[in-house]
Amino acid sequence: MATTCDTVQSVTVPFLDLQQQYRNLAPGLNEAVHGVLTSANYIQGPKVAEFERAFAEYCGVKEAIAVDSGTAALHLTLLALDIGPGDEVVVPANTFIATAAAVCATGARPVFLEADLENWQMDVGKLPEVLSARCRAVIGVHLYGQPLLLQPALTICADKGIHFIEDAAQAHGARFEDRRVGSIGRAACFSFYPGKNLGAFGDGGAITTDDLALSDRVRRLRDHGHLSKYEHQEVGFNYRMDAIQGAVLNYKLGFLDAWNQKRRFWAAHYRERLASLPLLFPSSISNTEPVHHLFPLRCERRDALAEFLRGRAIQTGIHYPIPLHLQPAFKVLGYQKGDFPIAEKIADEVLSLPLFPEMTEQQFDHVCHSTADFFAS
């Protein structure tokens, strides 16, 4: 994987390359979209139903309910479990805002949980400290594509009679023991935002569950509490998935395992190539098979490293620069700086390197050489 100085000059590395993904799959994707255009069946319909069946089978659950975003999936799951004003729901301090925003949308209160020093997921060991009598659910996020430490969380929730919901927005296809994420909690929520491991041509999401009563309620709520035409059981939402997204996702699902395999390949090689540099990586969690939605590392001079890489035409990301308890949107909850020092430290130092299935050896080499050059300079 050696690279000459000349090629280094010309290599650019995007954070992900959806144009290349489209080019690779264009005939099949065009046909899928064209089928929807000619059917003129644009919302839900057979293409979305087909995807729901395929995704449920892929995750190893009885039901998958397609919706129009991961945020909608979280919101509907909480509503269908009757979570609302006066209730509390535990979420990690280190995650994307949607996990907690969905809790607020029900009128319930998000309660943040500190991050784990070793694996950077939520610190399940600290869960008992934040569980009050008002707590109705814990949302465990499989952050960066790494299933979190599930067994203790499941045991604590079962003992207390609290729902455990998976936020699997970043972890399509990841495994815990012999099960896929999405089949472990009372329900799981996925996002198909275009840059996700399985991404649509716009927004999309899904709820997976084995609980048929729950899935019935979620189906109703996603479509205005629909019972039959113009008969509505309860007040719901328009969270329906477009047929184009169903057709695209159904086609792309066939490639997901191969893409995740590629992600694991690049992640393992990054670990090897960057091992001698003064960088920290999240520890792996036993009995899990991650899918590396992101490749995060920690660097004390994170901003300087990002700037240096930008100068070498390498895009990076920060997931996430502000932990949720310090977000202006959640000021009303009364948390202070210093409440979750580990989540705060991660936010100050974390940097995601480019990692996507279509990444070339040349691009990979360029990132590794450039990161090493930063520390040598």
Report the residue from 21, 94, 99, 250 that binds ligand PLP according to the rule CB under 6 A. Answer: 99
Query: Read out DSSP for 234-257?
Result: S---B-PPBHHHHHHHHHHHTTHH
316 counts as binding ligand PLP under rule CB under 6 A: no
Task: Give the whole-angstrom CA distance, residue 167 versus residue 155.
Answer: 18
3-state secondary structure of 303: helix
Report the residue from 169, 256, 353, 355 that binds ligand PLP according to the rule CB under 6 A. Answer: 169
Report the residue from 94, 95, 183, 245 that binds ligand PLP according to the rule CB under 6 A. Answer: 95
- 69/121 with CB nearer ligand PLP: 69
Q: Give the shortest CB-154-to-ligand PLP separation in angstroms.
A: 19
- 205/371 with CB nearer ligand PLP: 205
98 counts as binding ligand PLP under rule CB under 6 A: yes
Six token digits for residue 242: 């477009």
Q: Give the shortest CB-332-to-ligand PLP separation in angstroms.
A: 21
> Residues 55, 249: contact at Cβ < 8 Å?
yes
Report the residue from 36, 65, 71, 256 that binds ligand PLP according to the rule CB under 6 A. Answer: 71
Query: Residues 121-160: x/- map of binding to ligand PLP (CB under 6 A)?
Result: --------------------x-------------------
245 counts as binding ligand PLP under rule CB under 6 A: no
69 counts as binding ligand PLP under rule CB under 6 A: yes
What is the residue whose two structure tokens read 């301090």?
Answer: 93
Q: Could you give phi then psi for residue 105, rounded to 5 degrees?
A: -65, -25
Task: Give the whole-angstrom CA distance, residue 223 versus residue 179.
Answer: 30
344 counts as binding ligand PLP under rule CB under 6 A: no
Q: Which of 116, 92, 34 is nearest to 324 (CA)?
A: 92
Of the CA atoms within 13 Å of residue 291, those in its CB half-sphere come to 24
Q: Which of 58, 32, 21 is nearest to 206 (CA)?
A: 58
Q: Total number of residues binding ligand PLP (CB under 6 A)?
A: 15
Containing H/E element for 344? Answer: helix 341-349
Q: Give the shortest CB-285-to-ligand PLP separation in angstroms.
A: 17
70 counts as binding ligand PLP under rule CB under 6 A: yes
Task: Give the whole-angstrom CA distance, residue 228 versus residue 226.
Answer: 6
Q: Give the shortest CB-233-to-ligand PLP separation in angstroms.
A: 25
Chain residue whose CB lies nearest ligand PLP: 70
171 counts as binding ligand PLP under rule CB under 6 A: no
3-state secondary structure of 197: coil
Q: Give the shortest CB-368-to-ligand PLP separation in angstroms.
A: 26
**CA torsion through residues 204, 282, 256, 14, sign:** positive
Q: Which stretch binds ligand PLP (CB under 6 A): 9-17, 163-171, 254-262, 349-357?
A: 163-171
Give burial (CB, 10 Å; 0-12/13-18/19+) of 318. Answer: middle
Q: Which stretch binds ligand PLP (CB under 6 A): 164-172, 278-286, 295-303, 305-313?
A: 164-172
285 counts as binding ligand PLP under rule CB under 6 A: no
350 counts as binding ligand PLP under rule CB under 6 A: no
Q: Which of 297, 61, 315 is nearest to 190 (CA)?
A: 61
What Å distances lie between residue 173 and 67, 202, 219, CA to CA? Answer: 19, 20, 23
Binding residues for ligand PLP (CB under 6 A): 69-71, 95-96, 98-99, 141, 167, 169-170, 191, 193, 203, 205
